[in-house]
Structure 1
Amino acid sequence: MFKSWIATDGERMAPAVIRNYTLADIDGLIEVQKACFPPPYPPELWWNDEQIREHVTRFPEGALCVEMEGRIVGSMTGMRRSLGHAEKHDWASVTDEGYIRNHEPDGDTLYVVDIGVMPAYRRFGLGRWLMQSMYETVVHLGCRRLLGAGRMPGYHLVAGRISPEAYLEEVARGERKDPVLTFLLKNGRTPVGVVRDYLDDEESCNNAAIMEWRNPFLSGPQG
C-alpha cells in the first residue's frame, strides 16, 4: 500500500504518507511505541526487532506506518485469523504475543495487533487514516471483517463503581468519553463485548473492548 495526502490539524498543513513498513523502519517503529505507550504501560510490550521482522515477513500487507516531516509518526499492524463471532481470547494468545507466528494466510478476519500515533501528531487525524487503510486492506483481501480489542484507559477512574461492560455501554451511548474507545467508535468500529484479563494494562484494569468492522462488500449474513 502507498497513499499520500496533505494532512492538517486545522492550522498547519503538511504532506503525509501511509505505506507498508519494512525492516529498515525498525528503529522508527520502536520510537513510536515508546511515545504512544508510556508507563504505566509495560515497556516489555513495546515492539522488539524480532516481532517486527515477523510482521514484515509473514504478513506485509498488515504492516502499515505513517510518515510526516521525514519520520515515522504512527503505525498499525494486523494479521489474519479465523475467529468465531464472539470467541473469547486474550492478546497474547491471539497474536502469539505480538510475533504473529500463528498468522493464517486464509483467515477470514483481519485482526488488529496494534495501532498508535505519536501524541504530537494526533491532531492530524493520522489514526483515522491508518484505520481506513486497514479497512481497505480488509476489502482488498476479501476478509469478512476487521476485529480488534480496544484499551479502556479511562476505566480505572470508575472501576470501583461500574463494571467494564457498563463502562463500554456508556461510552457507546455517548454518555462518557474514553481516549481509545471513543476514537474507535468515531471510526466505524462496533462493540462486540468485553474481555477480561486481555492484557496487562493497569489503566484498563486488564480489560479490553472487542470491536469489529464488517466488510460491506460481502453479501449475505456474516455470523
Structure 2
Amino acid sequence: MARFYQQFYVFDDTRPVPVVIRSYTQDDFDELIVIQSETFPPPYPPEQWWNKEQLMQHITLFPEGALCAQVDGMLAGSITSLIVDYDPMKPAHSWADATDNGYIRTHKPDGNTLYIADICVRPRFRKLGLGKWLIQSLYHVTVEQGLERLLGGGRMPGYHRYAHEMSAADYLDAVVRGELKDPVITFLLRCGRTPVGVAADYLEDEESCNYGALMEWKNPFRG
C-alpha cells in the first residue's frame, strides 16, 4: 500500500505557507475530531462528527483515501473517501447508505467510483484554499486507482432560503447558471466538479432541507 504524501506551498496573501497533504494515522484521531467540531458547528448534529471507531475503519479499509492537510505542522483539515460501485442510471442514494454511516464498510476495492465521505477544513485556514487542494489530492487517487470518476454529495446550505419558491433541483441549476451562489456547491464547481443531480434525504441537515447535490469529476484517462 502506497501512503500519500505531497508537500507544496500555498499563499496567505503574498506569504508562501508550507503545506503537507498526507495519509492520516491513528495518532491524528483526537485532532481530527476537534477539526470536525470546528468545521461543523450547530445546527449540524454533533453525532455526525467522526468518532474513533469510524476513523479506525478509514485507515484500515482504505487508507489511500484517508488524507489530512498540515500547515506549519498543525492539522488543518481532512478528506475521507471509499470506493463504491456506482450506477449512473440510478444516481439517487443517501450519505448513510453510500458510506455505511461513515464507517465505510461499504468500501468495494473492485468498484468503479471514488466516493467522498467527508471533507472539512478548520475555519482559520480556509483562506488558504486547502479544501480545493484536498479534493485535487483525491483526483490523484482516482487516477492512481484507475477509477471512472470521483463522486460525492455536497451540502446545499443556501437552499433553505429558497425552498419555499423552488425545488432543490431548480436551486442547483440556478447556482450552476451563476444566478445564485451557494457556499458548498459554488466551491465544488470551482474544484472542477459537475452536477449529476440532487438526492432527497441525503443527509440530516436543516440548512440543506436534507438534500444533497451529487457532483462528479470524471477521470480524463478513462474516456
In 2, distance between residues paired with 1:148 and 1:137?
Answer: 14
Question: What is the Cα deviation at residue 183 of structure 1?
Answer: 0.4
Aligned counterparts of 1:99 and 1:210: Cα–Cα separation in 2:
20
Alpha-carbon distance, 1:11 to partner = 3.6
The letter of the residue matching 2:157 is P
Report sequence identity in percent.
55
User: Deviation string for 1:50-103 (max 9, x for gaps)?
Assistant: 000000000000001000132111000000000111421101111000000111
* Map of 1:126 onto structure 2: 130
TM-score, normalization: structure 1? 0.96
Amino acid in the other structure paired with 1:94: A
- Other-structure match for 1:29: 32
For 1:135, the equivalent position in structure 2 comes to: 139
- Show CA shifts across 1:84-131 (max 9, x none): 114211011110000001110111100000001111101101011101
Runs of 4+ in 1 over 6 A off after TM superposition: none
- Which AA in structure 2 matches 1:34? S
1:72 aligns to 2:101 (yes or no): no
- In 2, the alpha carbon distance for the partners of 1:139 and 1:13 equals 28
Gaps of 5+ in 1: none
The equivalent of 1:156 in structure 2 is 160
Matched residue SS, 1:160: coil
* 1:52 equivalenced with 2:72 (yes/no): no
Whether the 8 Å CA contact 1:28–1:71 is kept in 2: the answer is: no
Q: Is the 8 A contact 1:54 1:101 kept in 2?
A: yes
| 2:111 pairs with one of 99, 107, 111 | 107
How many residue pairs end up in the alignment? 219
Task: Please name the residue that 1:201 is paired with.
Answer: 205
Task: Look up the SS of the partner of 1:94 in the other structure.
Answer: helix
How far has the Cα of 1:206 moved from its partner?
0.2
1:92 aligned partner: 96
CA contact (8 A) 2:92 2:198 kept: no
Aligned partner of 2:17 among 2, 14, 18: 14
Deviation of the 1:210 alpha carbon: 0.3
Residue 221 of structure 2 is aligned to residue 217 of structure 1: yes
RMSD: 0.9
Q: Deviations over 1:133-174 (max 9, x none)?
A: 000100000000000000000111111111111110010011
SS in 1 for 2:171: helix
- CA offsets per residue over residues 5-41 of structure 1, 9 Å max, x none? 1111324332110000011100111111011100000
In structure 1, C-alpha distance between the alignment counterparts of 2:9 and 2:98, rounded to whole Å:
36
Instruction: Give me the whole-angstrom Cα distance separating, in 2, the residues matched to 1:11 and 1:162.
Output: 42
2:19 and 2:69 in contact (8 A); partners too: yes
Q: Is contact 1:9-1:125 (8 Å) kept?
A: no
Runs of 5+ unmatched residues, structure 2: none
TM-score (ref. length: structure 2) = 0.96
**Equivalent residue, structure 1, for 2:44:** 41
